[in-house]
Chains A and B, each alone.
Chain A
Amino acid sequence: DAKTTQPNSMESNEEEPVHLPCNHSTISGTDYIHWYRQLPSQGPEYVIHGLTSNVNNRMASLAIAEDRKSSTLILHRATLRDAAVYYCILRDVQDTGNQFYFGTGTSLTVIP
């Protein structure tokens, strides 16, 4: 799987939008972009995923650059419960093993 690069940490004020960037310059045409997050002392949880078009769900939005070499996870109004490590992962749709390779992620701190 192609690698991703994320900032180690970010801070946001509560109730403000948060933009979490991810670079994946070696992405292939069949790589989906997945985002997971891990709250303290919990297992990772699915946030969102996409291929080419921007995606929205109840948790977040995913903005994908036109060349697909970067993407941004958008939390529209950060809450204290959004403090977590956010992982950006590429996974090839042709991959039959379905293994997700987690990087170091971005640790998001939300300031009250």
Chain B
Amino acid sequence: DTAVSQTPKYLVTQMGNDKSIKCEQNLGHDTMYWYKQDSKKFLKIMFSYNNKELIINETVPNRFSPKSPDKAHLNLHINSLELGDSAVYFCASSLHSRGGYTFGSGTRLTVV
């Protein structure tokens, strides 16, 4: 059973489009995160949600909007995609706000 699953695995889209990436965890964790890994392989946190409430928003453009319908899901919606948004996006979860992470396998977004 996949613990943290992201869909889609690959996403190719044109500049200016709006797209969403979905994330679900079946671990019963109450904190979820989105990370972005750029072409230089640097992993940077974008958002952190605890029990559906936003607790961290790290200097991310407001074109990025996370949505958490319940504590098992944290989706990432991106408006007006730009070339610089091309990266691998990882979803992660932790049991509580001080626990270790379980990561998903990533979504490779390519904006053309």
Contacts and interface: CB of A to CB of B under 8 A. Distances in A.
A44 B43 contact: yes
Nearest to B45: A99
B61 interface: no
Interface stretch (A16-24, A58-66, A74-82, A90-98): A90-98
A90 to B, nearest CB: 14
Nearest to A48: B100
Given A43-B105, A43-B106, A98 B44 contact: no
A45 B101 CA distance: 8
B42 A104 contact: yes
Interface in B52-88: 55-56, 58
A51 to B, nearest CB: 13
A93 B106 contact: no
Question: How big is chain B's contact interface, by range?
Answer: 20 to 34
Given A42-B106, A43-B103, A43-B105, A97 B43 contact: no
A49 B103 contact: no
A3 interface: no
Nearest to B98: A98
Contacts of A43: 4, 90, 92, 103-106
B97 A101 contact: no
A49 B90 contact: no
A38 B41 CA distance: 10
A97 B97 contact: yes
Contacts of A45: 102-103
A42 B35 CA distance: 13
Interface of B: 4, 31, 33, 35, 41-45, 48, 55-56, 58, 90, 92, 94, 96-106
Interface of A: 34, 36, 38, 41-46, 49, 85, 87, 93, 95-102, 104
7 nearest interchain CB pairs? Answer: A43-B103, A102-B43, A98-B97, A99-B45, A46-B100, A97-B56, A43-B90
